[in-house]
Structure 1
Amino acid sequence: MQNILGLILAGGQGTRLGVLTEKIPKPAVQFGGKYRIIDFTLSNCVNSGIYSIGVLTQYRPHLLNRHIGIGKPWDLDRKGGGVTILQPYSTLTESIWFKGTADAVYQNIEFVDEHQPEYIVVLSGDHIYSMDYSEFVYYHISKGAVATIACMEVPLNEAHRFGIMVTDIDNKVVEFQEKPKEPKSNLASLGIYVFTWDFIKKVLIEDAKDESSEHDFGKNVIPKILSTEKVYAFPFEGYWRDVGTILSYWETNLELTRPIPPFNLYDPNWRVYTRSEEMQPAYISDERTVRNSIISEGCEIYGTVDASVISQGVTIGEGSIIKNSVIMTRVVVGKNVVIEDSIISENTVIKDGCKIGVGNFAESTYDRKVYDSHITVVGMDSIIEENCEIGKNVVVGNDRIVPKGTKVSSGGYYM
């Protein structure tokens, strides 16, 4: 697909993920044992034949920049195309930060023009899904559209959480509702767009001059261009998940542990590529049990693991029980530890005799909007000393040392 440029919006903080995104952006959060969230969008691009890609970063971009590099794991280290990291920059008179999704593309018009694309595909870098963008683009062309928006049907009682498309019988968008209280449709925008470049370039330039605009595709640009009568909805029926909350992130990870998972990581015709450290094969001792779990390379399992995702290089000590949990890279779990319904971030150490995620649910006393489920979250690079007891819906911050024997009741925090 030589006349198409992919632009991945990867600058979001993901505040609803709490401590998981305090040190890194949401697209860089680990997922599924060995991947980072942005890997799925990058892999969709190369699997769809899109090899010219710009990744627009902003919030704490260093880990993401290092992860993507020159794009070798995705076969993007090439002369004709490749991947480019696009960050906010300074001019002689001002420092320019992206003010919204549309502004992020506007600020990189020169980069887009250098590639001389006929069409651009604007993508979010923080969703878990597989989509053939070539079908999306061909649909756009067949409709003679200036803009096409990927959409999927959602339950009507959840439609208020999305941008909603009202369409005619030909899927032409006749009205757009941004998170409506009374939705007229259940066709939700996925924040994935195809634009005819010559057209949208002019729209972005006009939008940049509008001081009342929030410079956002969903809130401002799409409503403005509906009058062209050339904006269409592309109905998507595949797997797509927004992992923007702690509960949805936990649930989407654990879906992978089902006997027949709804998202197939093992499809040889649609591989998910990533940059990951080469490690030795996983080892599971003969006296322990692993059920319905993902165990990544480099792990040493001496305890019991049930319905959990265990990432690369994790050690789980003798007598320990891990259940319904996501354990990220290089976590060390000591002996006789119990972890339930929890997310343990990378490089954390949990010493002998600790209990995490136990007890009954209680509302968070730290932040009820972010920590609103039974899931306990421990931040990265932390140490939980021996015999600590941490309840459900608890948050432990990044880079913390929790003293020996500490008890944190359900709904509490250690920050």
Structure 2
Amino acid sequence: MKNIMGLINLHESDDLLREITRYRPLAAIPFAGRYRLIDFALSNLINSGITNVGILSAGNSRSLMDHIRSGKEWDLARKRDGLFILPSLQTGNVQGAFPNDLADVFANLDYIRSSRQRFILLTGTRMVCNINYEAVYQFHLEKKADITVLYKEYSGGDIRRFTNATMVETDDCSRIVDMEICPVHPRSTKMSMGMCLIDRQLLVDLIDASMSRGGTNVARDCFAKNLGTLKMYGFSFGGYLARISSVQSYFDHSRELLSPEVWQELFFANGSIYTKVKDEAPAKYQQDAAVTRSLVANGSVIAGKVENSILFRGVKVHKDAQVINSIIMQKSEIGPGVVLENVICDKDVKITAGKKLKGELNHPIVIEKGTVI
């Protein structure tokens, strides 16, 4: 796998996550108590032996840069290859189903051209999974493919809940014969994972040709429009996959982690998932604490009731407070007697004594970063 470089594209639409992404890109969304979405993309690459990784930044990336720093936690602080931050020409949040990422890739072609590796593993951060790309690489070589796209197959009913998804259709030889980007009524049950393996020089040629013809979006203008001329194959992924595309999907997939089977597969199936290290004391459970079926990160202090919930680092739950079916992010404080049910609290939220907030499982309440109630 030393012949592959990784390129993480952060140009991902966050229209339906605006309450959570107002101060951060989608890649920096906190997930699973201690992690951020980009941790999974970085860990999958390094666990597969890919040590040259470029991150194509987008929007307000300050919090993301603070999180990844030099890339040391992912063994990417290297003298040769390692982690590279590729600047964006744009400012603000990424909006729309077809983000204008082509110009930013074109502006950073020098980095791609100068790389030693022959292939590029192009990925985003919306798809949360644990995968080793070795099987994808072997499949790509066996098929003599120009591009290998990873996809996850769902039943017809399940696929309707995905918004702004890219769907692919394959023949009996796994060759992609159709690609739909953000269809209103998907005709396929195979959802692209936003990950593909491609020859480095081919990507450079496609980017150059698409820019010269007024293209704006890599998936549409480089891949979908050349479907008939390129040997594009689909690789089916059979493991657990969480697609974070809306507040509801974030809430649902977070709650799925409370299942031990899902947690074990996501964090240990093909290698560990790494994140920024913070030296904090273990969670402290006071005498009156009652915690059931929950994830509680280090640094938290619990004196109330926590049920079916995820608590991030440094959360304080005071006496007689109840946190049910909720997600409480870093350094938030839940006051005495507070009742929270089906609520997402962003970082540094403070709920003062006696407040009661109740959302629905299919419509959780979101409290923005730094809010005091």
The DSSP-based 3-state class of the residue aligned with 1:65 is: helix
- What do the CA deviations read for 1:109-167 (whole angstroms, capped 9, x no partner)? 10011113210011002321111122212211111111111011122242684322222
- Which residue matches 1:170? 173
Deviation, 1:298, is 0.4
Higher relative contact order (CA 8 A, sep 6+): 2
- Which residue matches 2:234? 233
**Counterpart residue identity of residue 216, structure 1:** V
Deviation, 1:223, is 2.2
Distance 1:350 1:182 in 2: 41
* Residues 200 and 59 of structure 1: CA distance in aligned 2, closer, same or farther (over 3 Å): same
Deviation, 1:382, is 1.3
The DSSP-based 3-state class of the residue aligned with 1:111 is: helix
Distance 2:257 2:185 in 1: 34
Distance 2:202 2:261 in 1: 44
- Which residue matches 1:396? none
The DSSP-based 3-state class of the residue aligned with 1:249 is: helix
Q: Is 1:382 matched up with 2:371?
A: yes
Deviation, 1:99, is 6.0
Distance 1:111 1:200 in 2: 13
Distance 1:140 1:380 in 2: 43
Deviation, 1:8, is 0.3
Task: Report the TM-score when normalising by structure 2.
Answer: 0.92
Task: Report the TM-score when normalising by structure 1.
Answer: 0.83
Q: 1:101-112 alignment to 2 at 5 Å?
A: 101-112=101-112
Which deviates further from its counterpart, 164-173 or 181-190? Answer: 181-190
**Counterpart residue identity of residue 189, structure 2:** N
**Counterpart residue identity of residue 143, structure 1:** K
The DSSP-based 3-state class of the residue aligned with 1:261 is: helix
Distance 2:364 2:183 in 1: 29
Deviation, 1:266, is 4.8
- Indicate conservation of the 8 Å contact 1:173/1:229, yes or no: no
- Which residue matches 2:94? none
Q: Is 1:284 matched up with 2:285?
A: yes
Quote the sequence identity (%): 28
Distance 2:135 2:121 in 1: 12
- Indicate conservation of the 8 Å contact 1:151/1:187, yes or no: yes
Distance 1:183 1:296 in 2: 39
- What do the CA deviations read for 1:198-232 (whole angstroms, capped 9, x no partner)? 22211110100112x33331x22222322235110
**Counterpart residue identity of residue 232, structure 1:** Y
The DSSP-based 3-state class of the residue aligned with 1:290 is: strand
Q: How many residues align?
A: 363
The answer for unaligned runs of 5 or more in structure 1 is 91-97, 362-371, 385-415
Deviation, 1:383, is 0.9
Deviation, 1:180, is 3.6
The DSSP-based 3-state class of the residue aligned with 1:223 is: helix
The DSSP-based 3-state class of the residue aligned with 2:42 is: helix
Distance 1:19 1:185 in 2: 31
Q: 1:13-412 alignment to 2 at 5 Å?
A: 14-89=14-89, 100-157=100-157, 158=159, 161=163, 162-181=165-184, 183-211=186-214, 213-217=215-219, 219-261=220-262, 264-267=265-268, 270-357=271-358, 373-384=362-373
Distance 2:259 2:18 in 1: 26
- Indicate conservation of the 8 Å contact 2:284/2:301, yes or no: yes
* Residues 38 and 225 of structure 1: CA distance in aligned 2, closer, same or farther (over 3 Å): same
Distance 1:250 1:57 in 2: 25
Deviation, 1:12, is 3.5
The DSSP-based 3-state class of the residue aligned with 2:242 is: strand
**Counterpart residue identity of residue 171, structure 1:** S
* Residues 275 and 7 of structure 1: CA distance in aligned 2, closer, same or farther (over 3 Å): same
Which deviates further from its counterpart, 73-82 or 182-191? Answer: 182-191
- What do the CA deviations read for 1:334-380 (whole angstroms, capped 9, x no partner)? 1011000010001111111111125xx6xxxxxxxxxx942000001
* Residues 220 and 263 of structure 1: CA distance in aligned 2, closer, same or farther (over 3 Å): farther
Distance 2:114 2:367 in 1: 44
The answer for unaligned runs of 5 or more in structure 2 is 91-97
Distance 1:199 1:233 in 2: 18
- Which residue matches 2:7? 7
Distance 2:371 2:150 in 1: 40
Output the aligned Cα RMSD. Answer: 2.1
- What do the CA deviations read for 1:287-318 (whole angstroms, capped 9, x no partner)? 22110000110010000000000100011000
- Which residue matches 1:405? none
Deviation, 1:326, is 0.3
Deviation, 1:59, is 0.8
- Indicate conservation of the 8 Å contact 1:208/1:215, yes or no: no
- Which residue matches 1:367? none
